[in-house]
Chain A
Amino acid sequence: MSEFQDRRTIQEIVLNARTVAIVGLSASELRASHFVGYYLQRHGYRVIPVNPNEEHILGERVYPSLRDVPERIDVVDVFRHPAAVPEIAREAVEAGAGALWLQFGVISQEGARIAQEGGIPVVMDRCLKIEHARLLGRMHWMGFDTGVIVGSRS
């Protein structure tokens, strides 16, 4: 698992991505996917919802699958059952996405292998919101360990 939780890979994705397609983004404000989508929008990311059952979420048009998204995707962020991941990984490779990010509990070795063979870096069992908040955000205001050790005024 640790090969899919490389801190440098995570940093590069969080710092450089602009457009995040969230596969399985829920319209319910109480679901973790909605928390993440709302947070990413607040911090300047363009969020593209992917969900076959909705039309608009977080003010954005929803696409039924990754194949239907008409623009460049920097990160495919997945909130789906692990069994759905291999197909999502194939679609991500076809779409030329910049990275495949699998949220907490979305663990699929096969999906990760498909993405890697397609030349896409993979992060697994990590939360994009938390990693952003750790590196750039305000997670340190809530007593969480960010791992940030710095004595200079960067």
Chain B
Amino acid sequence: MDEAPRDFGFNTRSVHAGQRPDPYTGASATPIYQTAGFVFEDTESASAYFNLQEYGNVYSRIMNPTVAAFEERLANLEGGAGAVAFASGLAAQAGLFFVLLDPGDRIAVAKALYGGSTAQLNHLARKLQITLDWVDMDDPDGWRRSVTAETKALFAETIANPGGNVLDIELAAAVAHEVGAPLVVDNTFATPYLCRPLEFGADLVIHSATKFLAGNGTTIAGAVVDSGTFDWSNGRFPSIAEPSTAYHGLKFHETFGVYGLLMKLRSETLRDFGAVLAPFNAFLLLLGMESLAVRMDRHVANGLAVAEWLREQPGVGAVRHPALPDSPYRPLVDRYLPLGAGSVFSFDLESGREGGRRFIEALSLWSHLANVGDTKSLVIHPASTTHRQLSDDELAASGVAPGTVRLSVGLEDVDDLVWDLERGLHAARSSAVTA
């Protein structure tokens, strides 16, 4: 060991982190350990694993070597101490808040949030007697006004879905730490290639790995990444710092230090929730992440090209891409997302709800579906799908105009994407004339 350990670059780690050539067979790709259980070496080892005295595979509802390779790769790329994977992004989010919160607690949450997350938090709030304090993340005083002595976490997305609001991570982290609470950031739209929130003071990152991490729209998956630096023994998180009845009085934070929250999340929450990631899905995620940086560069370039083209077109109103030069979020993009702001954004058709419907119907290359972060370009018109039951006034209240369209720009040739959008815009304009 004469050589100093090397600090490898992002691309190298995207390909290799978490995975080692299989010591038994030499397999280069990560084996899919499609097994429910693992045979113990002897009774002493078995009890050491169950007592958490030794790291060992027990049962795939708690840990699995293929899933662990995905967890380590994501943790490495985010700069975290470790990660715990879940069956979906929403499962990861529910698991994390289940660990952090006790009845009566409050969390401060950005109003600009994925609708599925809003619905889940409202549900958790009802069931667990949690109070949600909704925050205008664009207001520099928003976080400070919304936290109280009871606030147990601050939560926002790096790039909000679908509004494209960009989080001032350092500002939110400073407010969080003033009240002794962790900042939790959903980094789905940025991926660790474009932004690593932990480097700016966030304490925990969650992902819907279904999106850009998987990359191909094949896999539902989620994960929690912990920086390992938050002080869970600050008196506010007894469930992590105080003795656990599930493990004979073990104190997770004292015993496992930087890994305390992750050990708790895995060996209690994941174990009891059962929302575990399947080994085959982890394998697909590992394949996707090998090309993360290469794909994100193309996503970013295509997304910006489509946004710039759109705002020159007749019949198009606001184009809400945060990296456009006149976007209100451009200073935050320069600070937190110097390599680009992803490829999911929304724009408004001047022809309203009917125009949106005709726009979608006229497209033949873009896929009309409810996902983002695929290699394929995807489009959805909230007013005729996810928000169909709302009146125009109710739509406006939820931040969506009747003619708002959300795009997730894929890896196709930009000329082809623009060709199809042109056909859609033509149809939308025709509807405006005849309506």
Contacts and interface: CB of A to CB of B under 8 A. Distances in A.
B123 interface: no
Given A38-B48, A39-B54, A153-B23, A143 B17 contact: no
B83 interface: yes
A144 B75 contact: yes
Interface in B394-408: none
B68 A143 contact: yes
Given A42-B48, A133-B55, A145-B80, A140 B68 contact: yes
A7 B3 CA distance: 11
Interface in A1-39: 7-8, 11-12, 15, 29-32, 35, 38-39
Interface in B57-112: 57, 63, 65, 67-69, 71-72, 75-76, 80-85
B1 A11 contact: yes
Number of contact residues on A: which range applies?
Answer: 35 or more
Interface in A103-154: 104-105, 127, 130, 133, 137-153
Contact of B53 (A38, A127, A150, A151): A38
Given A30-B248, A140-B18, A104 B1 contact: no
A141 B76 contact: no
Nearest to B247: A30
A13 B20 CA distance: 23
Contact of A143 (B20, B48, B83, B258): B83
A32 B16 CA distance: 32
A127 to B, nearest CB: 6
Given A149-B8, A153-B23, A142 B82 contact: yes
Contacts of B12: 149
B235 to A, nearest CB: 16
A33 B243 CA distance: 16
Contact of A7 (B4, B17, B26, B263): B4
A30 B249 contact: yes
Contacts of A15: 1
A141 B75 contact: no
Listed residue (A11, A32, A149, A152) with the most chain B CB atoms within 10 angstroms of its CB: A149
A153 B63 contact: no
A141 B69 CA distance: 8
A31 B68 contact: no
Interface string B241-269: 00100001111001111110011001000
A138 B55 contact: yes
B250 A30 contact: yes
10 contacts: A11-B1, A29-B51, A35-B53, A39-B54, A104-B257, A105-B257, A140-B69, A142-B262, A143-B75, A145-B72
Interface of B: 1, 4-6, 8, 12-13, 16-18, 20-21, 23, 26, 48, 51-57, 63, 65, 67-69, 71-72, 75-76, 80-85, 243, 248-251, 254-259, 262-263, 266
